[in-house]
A and B are shown apart, each in its own frame.
Chain A
Amino acid sequence: MPPREGTYGLLAEFDTPGDLVRAARQARQDGWRRLDCYTPYPVEEAAEAIGFHRNKVPLVTLVGGLMGLAAMFSLETWISTLAYPLNIGGRPTYSWPAFIVPAYEWTILFAGLSAAFGMLALNGLPALYHPLFNAPNFRDGATTDKFFLCLEALDPKFDLKETKVYLESFQPVSVVEVEY
């Protein structure tokens, strides 16, 4: 568990996504690993800059979809052949073409739910508390029109004074310390 007191990190505020990406890329090049960017809309370049290239959402979705497919198709087969076989106009009890439709729908249902809830789980959401919201300028900016770079205290390179000077070299609007 990370420490729950003291400094979470230093938060630099930028006016444009370009400034943010430049700073994030430089920080990553200088060896920072515990860092994150906060933007009011997805900025792919910022994710690339901090070395976040791929995620597991597609895998979760695929597994979910296959589970839905297998679950519904086996349920239909079991019901129609063993649990409750019905003679409908002399058609075979194992009428697999007719079973495709519900199995198809459940593939989509399970895949969709896995994509949505898998994404939230991987993001660690819902989260009732996060230290960043203690920063005075974060709430007004991060969800409206400002771009933030946060260098976290857990990074071995972190030092309150030196890191502040380092962040200020990117000419941000402001650098603030974020407490837990």
Chain B
Amino acid sequence: MATSEVKINDPGIDPATGEFRVIAPGQTFRSVTEKIARIVLTPTTPLGWFALFGIGGAVATMLLVAVVWLFLIGVGIWAITQPVAWGFAIINFVWWIGIGHAGTLISAILLLFKQTWRNSINRFAEAMTIFAVVCAGMFPLIHVGRPWLGYWLLPYPNTMNVWPQFRSPLLWDVFAVSTYATISVVFWYIGMVPDFGTMRDRAESKVAQYVYGMLSMGWRGSVRHWMRYETASLLLAGLATPLVLSVHTVISFDFAVAVLPGWHTTIFPPYFVAGAIYSGFAMVLTLAIPLRKFYHLEGLVTERHIDNMGKVMLATGFIVGYGYGMEAFMAWYSASHWEAFMFWNRMFGPMGWSYWVLVTCNLAIPLTTLWSRKLRTSIPFMFFISIVVNTGMWFERFVIFVTSLYRDFLPSSWGTYRATKWDYMTYVGTLGLFTALFLLFVRFLPMIPMSEIRMMLPGAKIKAKAAAEAGD
């Protein structure tokens, strides 16, 4: 672990606190602005970007093929049938939405807690949220069988005189997810407006000036505007915080409200939310580690960020672990034959391997190693952990849905679940879509909020002495 040696005279460590600095020393307003704006405004795109975008685009094309075939033939091309009627589509939906949650947590909850270290990672974490919600939102829509009638989910006056049924958690999902998508996009865009102003003023090509000019909406940095802007950001953060907690709660109601053993449990809402944040932080790491390396942003996304994200993962990982423990405990304590059987079958049945993959990836590996600061600040190790946790969280969803369904009350109706190639193509395709969208974001939008970084620089604060001199 030579890379993780923590040296006392390391310039990245603040001698006052002994912690890694949030921003490397020696940055000025102009240097951070130039560094971040240049990534976007440069006329030359790095070759590596094209290579990755090519791969992402090719994989996303696979999604297109899978979805076209689905629309032509129907959901029968997937492995869903009785008794496992909810397969990959729901697993992926919940997994992607969960990933999105870390972005909102970073942008909203950490803002309310005045955790300024979050400033450099918040923009791309929010972008991750939006692209994850795009991938997630697609799954229920294509799962309904006739997606061109998807608007039937909404309450609108129609000639059939039919209205939605508001007592169903599935309808609650429609409102939770659509609100989440809308508010995330608005929060993200509003956050970028001042930075678009900077881009407009620094762009050299006419097209860029025009486009960023339109996007910035004429932002000119008036302090009156800034004060309203700060109030609105704080309010949006305050609104996004209960929203993010409610979204995964509502999604967990899809299961918890059902009477199926393995789903019918009150631990689901907190356990889903913690799991969402756990996987989301892992995805932020998966994205941040290559990005800071590729674009040389080590001075802005420092070991401190990686370390703090590791700590959040450790905490949420334990909540998730508590959730698993509680499920096992309730299976025994409920004294319900069906609950006990379901749990035994989940661990040792024909699909028990998936449970042990989940335990290994979500509990055994991360929760034993993330205690060590040395490991938490080791970049290769944290990248490895992020992949492990993402895998583990995907398997958590798989375990919850498939192993609760495939052996239900009557042995005569037992079945199994084996995903088809179309299932895999759709899932892997969304990974490609996510990558492609994220690369477009990195290329065309400022990925680190410049105005928020400026606030953290040493010259930004007005000295108390200077204020006193001016009288008041």
* Pair B217/A127 contact, Cβ less than 8 Å: yes
* Pair A18/B466 contact, Cβ less than 8 Å: yes
* Pair A116/B232 contact, Cβ less than 8 Å: yes
The one of B164, B176, B201, B239 in contact with A111, judged by C-beta atoms closer than 8 angstroms, is B239
Say how far B196's CB is from chain A's closest CB, in angstroms: 9
* Pair A84/B239 contact, Cβ less than 8 Å: no
Instruction: Point out the residues of chain A lying under 8 angstroms from B190, CB to CB.
Output: 116, 119
Q: Provided the pairs A108-B183, A125-B218, A140-B201 are in contact, do residues A57 and B232 lie with their beta carbons within 8 angstroms?
A: yes
Q: Is B338 an interface residue (CB 8 A)?
A: no
Interface string of B159-180 (1 = CB under 8 A from A): 0011111110101100110110
Chain A, interface residues (CB within 8 Å), range:
35 or more
A61 to B463, CA, bound (A): 33
* Pair B221/A102 contact, Cβ less than 8 Å: no
Q: Is A13 an interface residue (CB 8 A)?
A: no
Nearest B residue to A120 via CB reads: B217
Q: Provided the pairs A95-B167, A101-B176, A119-B229 are in contact, do residues A142 and B182 lie with their beta carbons within 8 angstroms?
A: no
* Pair B217/A112 contact, Cβ less than 8 Å: no
The one of B179, B201, B227, B451 in contact with A41, judged by C-beta atoms closer than 8 angstroms, is B451
A83 to B167, CA, bound (A): 15
Q: Is A12 an interface residue (CB 8 A)?
A: no
* Pair A18/B175 contact, Cβ less than 8 Å: no
Q: Provided the pairs A52-B227, A75-B155, A123-B225 are in contact, do residues A91 and B167 lie with their beta carbons within 8 angstroms?
A: yes
Q: Is B4 an interface residue (CB 8 A)?
A: no
Which positions 81-109 of chain A face chain B at CB distance < 8 Å?
Answer: 83-84, 86, 88, 91, 95, 98-99, 101-102, 104-106, 108-109
* Pair B239/A22 contact, Cβ less than 8 Å: no
Instruction: Point out the residues of chain B lying under 8 angstroms from A50, CB to CB.
Output: 223-224
Q: Is A36 an interface residue (CB 8 A)?
A: yes
Q: Provided the pairs A41-B460, A142-B221 are in contact, do residues A108 and B228 lie with their beta carbons within 8 angstroms?
A: no
A85 to B347, CA, bound (A): 44
Q: Which of A2-10, A128-136, A161-169 contacts B (4 or more CB under 8 A)?
A: A128-136
* Pair B218/A47 contact, Cβ less than 8 Å: no
A125 to B219, CA, bound (A): 7
Say how far A74's CB is from chain B's closest CB, in angstroms: 12
* Pair B470/A21 contact, Cβ less than 8 Å: yes
Instruction: Point out the residues of chain A lying under 8 angstroms from B169, CB to CB.
Output: 101
Interface string of A23-55 (1 = CB under 8 A from B): 001100000000011111111111100101001
* Pair A42/B166 contact, Cβ less than 8 Å: no
Query: Count the B residues whose beta carbon is within 8 Å of the partner chain — how many?
Result: 70
Nearest A residue to B198 via CB reads: A143
A16 to B460, CA, bound (A): 8
* Pair A144/B29 contact, Cβ less than 8 Å: yes
* Pair B223/A36 contact, Cβ less than 8 Å: yes
* Pair A144/B201 contact, Cβ less than 8 Å: yes
* Pair B218/A113 contact, Cβ less than 8 Å: no
Q: Provided the pairs A17-B460, A58-B231, A105-B246 are in contact, do residues A22 and B466 lie with their beta carbons within 8 angstroms?
A: yes
* Pair A105/B231 contact, Cβ less than 8 Å: no
Q: Is A175 an interface residue (CB 8 A)?
A: no
* Pair A18/B220 contact, Cβ less than 8 Å: no
Q: Provided the pairs A105-B179, A112-B236, A125-B217 are in contact, do residues A41 and B186 lie with their beta carbons within 8 angstroms?
A: no
Which positions 278-324 of chain B face chain A at CB distance < 8 Å?
Answer: none
* Pair B218/A44 contact, Cβ less than 8 Å: no
Say how far A141's CB is from chain B's closest CB, in angstroms: 9
* Pair A143/B462 contact, Cβ less than 8 Å: no
Instruction: Point out the residues of chain A lying under 8 angstroms from B243, CB to CB.
Output: 105, 108, 112
Q: Provided the pairs A43-B226, A108-B243 are in contact, do residues A61 and B235 lie with their beta carbons within 8 angstroms?
A: yes
* Pair A45/B467 contact, Cβ less than 8 Å: yes
Q: Provided the pairs A38-B222, A39-B226, A41-B451 are in contact, do residues A108 and B167 lie with their beta carbons within 8 angstroms?
A: no
Please list 5 pairs of residues, one from A and one from B, whose beta carbons are closer than 8 Å in the complex, sorted by A's number.
Answer: A39-B223, A42-B455, A47-B227, A112-B240, A112-B243
